[in-house]
Amino acid sequence: MSAPSTDLDLDRVDLTDLDLFADGPPYELFRRMRREMPVHWNEMDGEPGFWNITRFEDIRRISRDHETFSNERGGIFIQNEPGVPVDVQRQLMLGMDPPRHTKVRGIVQKVFSPRVVAEREPHIRQVVTRLIDDVIERGECDFVSDIAVELPLIVIAEMLGVPVEDRYMLFDWTNRASHAVATADPADTLQALAEMGQYLGALVAERRERPRDDLISRMVNAEVDGERLSDAEITISFGLLMFAGNDTTRNTASGAMLALIEHPDQRQKLIEDPSLMRDAVEELLRWVSAVVHFRRTATRDTEIAGQRIAAGDKVVLWYASGNRDETAIPDPDRLDVSRPNVEHQAFGGGGRHFCLGNQLARLELRVLFEELLERIPDMELAGEPRRLRTNFTNELTSLPVAFTPGRPSGS
């Protein structure tokens, strides 16, 4: 359940108030905003406010118009100091505008192409099998730490070219940076980036001498506008890829497992008909909305849904609201794993910043739930789920579960 919103005065609603997100995205409040005030001005103490954009079509339009709505001007988070200072944000692909964004994205695009990603399926299935083997005899686990954290962390570390044994350091650094965004703590982000930079320095030097078939080598040796990426740009891009390839898939997997536990009829559908899994993944991506928002800055005077937006105004795109918009998705508050042709904004609203790793995330989620529902079909809650108090991600930090113990594969 989301925070109650029936008695709130929409003119006074402040979506930086994390109490509204204590139980996850405030879907009831978003529903009211879409209906009554879809382009909503949000006052802030001590700094300029911003426009809340809550309708699917408006989010899509803004996402696809990079000339009018910039990622680079002013940063991509609501607050000016959200844990990632603006000068650092501009070195992220997410914080760039074309033409530089197009060129930097092109460096890593081929690594995440559908063909290359599809080739990884057998290995991803092996990883999932090992993770299930590690818990299946116990009959209980914390789904977040034992399964949801491990799968994307192992996969993205391998793709980047980082030794698997170092993955927990990378998890710690990216997790600290992610939580700093949630708590508006720039000091911890900069400390995490500094530690990551020191670690990467040795890897970068080694790849310059002995390139491999991995993403770090590609980034080290690539050129943009005739220049190599700086060590700082490599470090920051590396951190973004670790976050995008780790946190978002982890949070979707955890939220999806909780959703299937809470909707046993939908889980049973998948158990009885595994061919539904591809559609189910899209529905679960929509349902969870792992990334709740990003922002843009208007580069010129414009208009959204009849509301004048001035040059320099910040607009915040609430993907969690767009994914429950009844004008775009029929009966959006109903989980339906057999829903065909699911439209969602879990990877953004489209355009040039559409999530680079969307195919990898889809594959990991599909394989994970195919194997889980076959081998552990009766997973249930064994304690109270815990979540991160944030308006940036829809993030469970713990999901205790219990199930009938089974046997490891091959035994």
Q: What is the number of alpha carbons within 13 Å of residue 285 lying toward its C-beta?
A: 26
Tell me the C-alpha distance between 42 and 319, whole Å.
17
Cα 85 vs. chain centroid, distance in angstroms?
A: 20
- Is 408 domain-assigned? no
**2 in a domain, yes or no?**
no
Reading the block at residue 144, the tokens are 């977040």
Q: What is the CATH number of the domain that holds 165?
A: 1.10.630.10
Tell me the average pLDDT across 209-218: 83
Angstrom distances, CA of residue 50 to CA of 140, 290, 294: 45, 22, 12
pLDDT in tens, 253-282: 999 999 999 999 999 999 999 999 999 999
Question: Does residue 3 lie within any of the structural domains?
Answer: no
Residue 185: its pLDDT value, please? Answer: 59
Cβ atoms of residues 211 and 276 within 8 Å? no
Expressed as residue numbers, the domain containing 250 is 10-402
User: Quick check: 241 pLDDT over 60?
Assistant: yes
CA distance 234 to 72: 18
Q: What is the mean pLDDT of residues 3-27?
A: 85
Q: DSSP assignment, residue 263?
A: -
Mean pLDDT score of the chain, rounded to an integer?
Answer: 85
**Would you place residue 129 in the very low, low, confident or very high pLDDT band (cuts 50, 70, 90)?**
very high
102: pLDDT strictly greater than 70: no
Q: Which range is most confident: 105-109, 164-168, 247-251, 254-258? A: 254-258
Residue 244 inside a domain? The answer is: yes
Residue type, 258: L
Domain assignment present for residue 4? The answer is no
Cβ count within 10 A of residue 368: 26
Q: Dump pLDDT digits (tens) for 302-361.
A: 999 999 999 999 999 999 999 999 999 999 999 999 999 999 999 988 766 667 778 899
**42-51, 212-221, 294-303, 376-385: the lowest-pLDDT one:** 212-221
| Pick from 98, 72, 97: nearest CA to 87 | 72
| Residue 141 pLDDT grade (very low, low, confident, very high; cuts 50, 70, 90) | very high
pLDDT, average across residues 100-114: 69
* Overall number of domains in the chain: 1
Strand-pairing partners, residue 304, are 307
Question: Does residue 410 fall inside a structural domain?
Answer: no
d(CA 329, CA 30) in angstroms, rounded, equals: 15
Q: Which of 373, 150, 170 is nearest to 264 (CA)?
A: 373
% of the chain surpassing 90 pLDDT: 55
* Of 151, 2, 87, 64, nearest in space to 353 by CA: 64
Chain-centroid distance, C-alpha 153: 14
Q: Which pTM does this prediction carry? A: 0.88
Residue 409 lies in a domain: no
In a domain, 171, yes or no: yes
Alpha-carbon span 207 to 219, nearest angstrom: 10
pLDDT at residue number 5 = 55
pLDDT, tens only, 65-101: 989 998 777 666 665 544 455 555 445 556 565 556 6
Across 148-152, 180-184, 203-207, 211-215, least confident range: 180-184
Query: What is the per-residue pLDDT across 345-390, written as a single tens digit (0 to 9) for each?
Result: 999 887 666 677 788 999 999 999 999 999 999 999 999 999 998 8
Question: Which of 5-19, 104-118, 121-135, 344-358 reaches the highest mean pLDDT?
Answer: 121-135
**Alpha helices in 214-291, H assignment, sequence order:** 215-221, 231-262, 264-272, 277-288
Average of per-residue pLDDT across 118-139: 95
- Mean pLDDT of the 386-396 span: 92
* pLDDT score for 71: 78
> Which pLDDT value is given to residue 33?
97
Given a cut of 70, whether residue 193 has pLDDT beyond it is: no
Q: Which residue has the higher pLDDT, 268 or 119?
A: 268
pLDDT at 204: 80
